[in-house]
Amino acid sequence: MSQSNVHLLDLPTEILLNILRKLNNIDVLYSLLDINNGRLDIFAHEKTFTNILNFVRTDNIALIDRFCIYILPRINHNIKYFILEPVVMERILLATVYPNLTELELFNFEQQIASKYFTDESSLRSVFQQQITSLILVNNDKSARVGSLKEYTRNVYEHILNFFKNLTYLNIIGPYVMLCPGLSLCDLPSTTFYPSILTHLCIMLETFDDCLYLLDGRLKQLTTLNVTVYSIDSSSTIVHNTDMLPNLKCFSLKSYFQFQQYEQIPLLLRHRNRIIDGTCVQNDILVHIPQLHSLTFYVSSYIDIRDLSHDLSREHIQQTLINIGQQNAATIVNYLTMYTAECSIFSLPFAFDYLPCLGNIFPNIVFNYVTYLLVEDNDGFKHEFFVRIARSFPLLKYLRIFNIESQVLADMKLSSDHSQSYSMIEYPHLTSLDVSHGHQDYLEQFLNETKAYVPCLNELKALYPHLKIVTNNFTREETRRNCAKVKQLIFFEQLDNVQDYYHYFPSL
């Protein structure tokens, strides 16, 4: 048989299935069902293609209608997990009966979704209350933080935990830190959340007190609790009972903002101008949980070096980690001012998506999960520093630069005569750049295409005078390409002729 006569259906079943599994399951179902071929029809009913269905960013009404009328009723018994946009949720969930559906993930979730669908009058009440045991909400309530957090807690969080009767897994995440409103329990009665069968909870909290309230026994069945706390220092001095979670096996706490009350954290498990090192980890945490199998951590402390009785040594801090058996850990000491240093310790591999402060000196580590990075130092950043940043942070999306010092060396000054002598750095995923607290050299570093290529940059925060200088009053060709996809410009100053930069930033 010549190759020109080979048909897709001539391939062995195993090879054909491997090909189809690499395609989007929605496309497979849409393409194979009802084409009058029994073999492909059987393939389309494979659980590989029907267990999980993803209808996110599907704006083709004809496609949705075809699925609801012809396809979903034929595969309904296989479907266990839906990933949906709210705009198509009701249409799809009411298309047929899904006897094995237990998991639901909603993108672009907003407050009105809870008030419309998470009620006893909802058309989807039976599905939500009786079937759904796992719920993931990707929150898109960007403007909700300007309102009452207490009201948002009642309208959203309380609705969810009281309405989903069989919920065991709840994960509420935001598109970016501080955009998603946090749960605020402090001013609400203790009966706000009734006893629940929840075993897994991932949620944003307004204050550290809200974390303590969640640990007061109202969620007795929890085995996993992951919380992001927006504010720790605003916590009260109220003593909470945190001894009523006998099933808790995994606890994760994140705070993206600086705080002083470090001593509150160890109290959960059983500051001063203090270096957080291996000795602290041992005495404040490990000694209180001797059965702990593994510890994943990142702790950063700010030190006034004038108050220290000894020199600040990265090697000494690293040795304290080794002394407690944390060989897979690293230390960074970053001098922010003449008198202030930041000391960071973290387990390896670095498991977090956010690194709030990095300076000129950092270890040769690939931070595979970090998408948000803030760089700050008392000394200027050279071109080689940004080469290392690109290599060490391959998935970097958000970058903030705090450094008012120039790039120092004469050959790094703003001069097109020298720019060709530097290797061009590519940041393939960088979408947001904030240089509003940085020297104008760093704006040049990223906008000059002979130094950097940022194909996905769509948000830029800068000082308007710096932007005018670097772009030569919005006429410079070397900076035009990296500005082409910017959709949002953020300034603090009064602007002059806005038409100039509208022409230079065609995607605004």
Per residue in 127-136, pLDDT tens? 888 899 999 9
Burial label, 341 (beta-carbon count in 10 A; 0-12, 13-18, 19+)? buried
Contact 186, 219 (CB under 8 A): no
Residues 433-455: tens digit of each pLDDT: 999 999 999 999 999 999 999 99
Contact 132, 167 (CB under 8 A): yes
For residue 269, pLDDT over 50 is answered with no
Residues 313-371: tens digit of each pLDDT: 888 888 888 888 888 899 888 888 777 888 888 989 999 888 888 999 999 999 999 99
Residue 416 — very low, low, confident or very high, per pLDDT cuts 50/70/90?
very low
For residue 270, pLDDT over 50 is answered with no
> What are the structure tokens assigned to 127, written together?
């599905």
Q: Using alpha carbons, select from 93, 58, 98 the residue that is nearest to residue 74.
A: 98
pLDDT score for 21: 57
Q: Quick one: the chain helix, strand, coil %, rounded to 5?
A: 35, 20, 45
Q: Using alpha carbons, select from 437, 420, 421, 425 the residue that is nearest to residue 396.
A: 425
What phi, psi does 151 have (nearest 5°)? -65, -40
> What are the structure tokens assigned to 434, written together?
């904030």
**DSSP 3-state of 270:** coil
Neighbour-count burial for 193-219, b at 16+ CB within 10 Å, e otherwise: beebebbbbbbbbbbbbbbbbbbebbb
For residue 418, pLDDT over 80 is answered with no
Determine which of 90-104, 106-120, 134-148, 268-282 has the lowest per-residue pLDDT on average.
268-282
Residues 81-112: tens digit of each pLDDT: 888 888 888 888 998 899 989 999 888 888 88
For residue 394, pLDDT over 90 is answered with yes
Q: Using alpha carbons, select from 461, 399, 395, 400 the residue that is nearest to residue 429.
A: 395
Tell me how far apart the terminal alpha carbons of the chain are, to the nearest angstrom: 57
Neighbour-count burial for 367-399, b at 16+ CB within 10 Å, e otherwise: beebbbbbbbbbebbbbebbeebbebbeebbbb
pLDDT score for 421: 58
For residue 272, pLDDT over 80 is answered with no
Most distant CA pair in the chain: distance in Å?
Answer: 84
Q: Using alpha carbons, select from 313, 295, 293 the residue that is nearest to residue 305.
A: 313
**Separation of alpha carbons 325 and 322, rounded Å:** 5
Alpha-carbon distance values, 88 to 76, 95, 139, 156 (Å): 17, 11, 16, 20
pLDDT score for 284: 73
Q: What does the DSSP assignment read for 236-254? A: ----------TT--EEEEE
User: What's CA 241's distance to the chain center, in Å?
Assistant: 31
pLDDT score for 6: 55
Contact 132, 102 (CB under 8 A): yes
Residue 273 — very low, low, confident or very high, per pLDDT cuts 50/70/90?
very low
Alpha-carbon distance values, 410 to 235, 407, 414, 415, 417 (Å): 49, 8, 9, 9, 12
pLDDT score for 366: 94
